[in-house]
Amino acid sequence: MAGPGVPEVLDLAGIFVFAVSGGLAAVRQRLDVVGMVVLAEITALGGGILRDLLIGAVPPAAFTSLGYVLVPLAASALVFFWHPQVTRLLPAVLLFDAAGLGLFCATGTLKALEHGLSPLHSVLLGVVTAVGGGVLRDMLGGQIPSVLYDRQLYALPAMLGAAVMAVAYTADLHGGAVTAGAAVLATGLRLLAIRYGWRTPRPRGVPD
């Protein structure tokens, strides 16, 4: 049996880091192990399931590949037993969330392109893939989803990474290096926004 291709490996990497993000959010909310697993699975798989349903890739990959279920479980176990150590690795929630955002915007856009969608619609679906799980995580955790107040650049880095992925694909540039490059770009922009406090503007007259 052939091993997973580069896009699937990157997709699984995005699932892992988003699942860690969901697991750490569960720790902050003082949830039990069941709540942690649910939050990790939904954060990791929610955006991809929505993308697959929209492009007609049914059943979604989350229900056809064992790895898509086991990887979030492994991330949940990691956070359950070693969350103090994981949390000490920089601001872990934001770091893992940014990495998942970058990986998912790139792989989500690529999958939409491969299913014949236009570059513009593929970019939109790449953003949905990137932010969908985080929206569900925040809602279940009783928080306003980050994408609704893009104050430290959440959706915009995903949109930029997805756009780079679409432009590269239409220019006949393919391969894991291109996908990884788009992911790194989105991740880096998100982390820089957090580091330097870059913000999107509010409507005129609305105070910060």
Give the percent of the chain with pLDDT over 70: 90
| Of 143, 111, 152, the residue nearest 128 (C-alpha) | 111
The answer, yes or no, to whether residue 81 has pLDDT greater than 80, is yes
Fill in the amino acid letter for 39. Answer: L
In a domain, 202, yes or no: no
Residue 23's domain comprises 6-196
The answer, yes or no, to whether residue 187 has pLDDT greater than 80, is yes
Burial of 144: CB neighbours in 10 Å, binned 0-12, 13-18, 19+: exposed
Average pLDDT over residues 82-87: 78
| Of 68, 70, 53, the residue nearest 129 (C-alpha) | 53
In a domain, 205, yes or no: no
The model's pTM is: 0.83
In a domain, 127, yes or no: yes
In a domain, 201, yes or no: no
In a domain, 153, yes or no: yes
Q: Which residue has the higher pLDDT, 175 or 189?
A: 189
| Of 148, 117, 155, 4, the residue nearest 68 (C-alpha) | 4
In a domain, 62, yes or no: yes
Domain count of the fold of the chain: 1
pLDDT tens digits, one per residue of 10-41 = 778 888 888 988 898 898 889 999 999 999 99
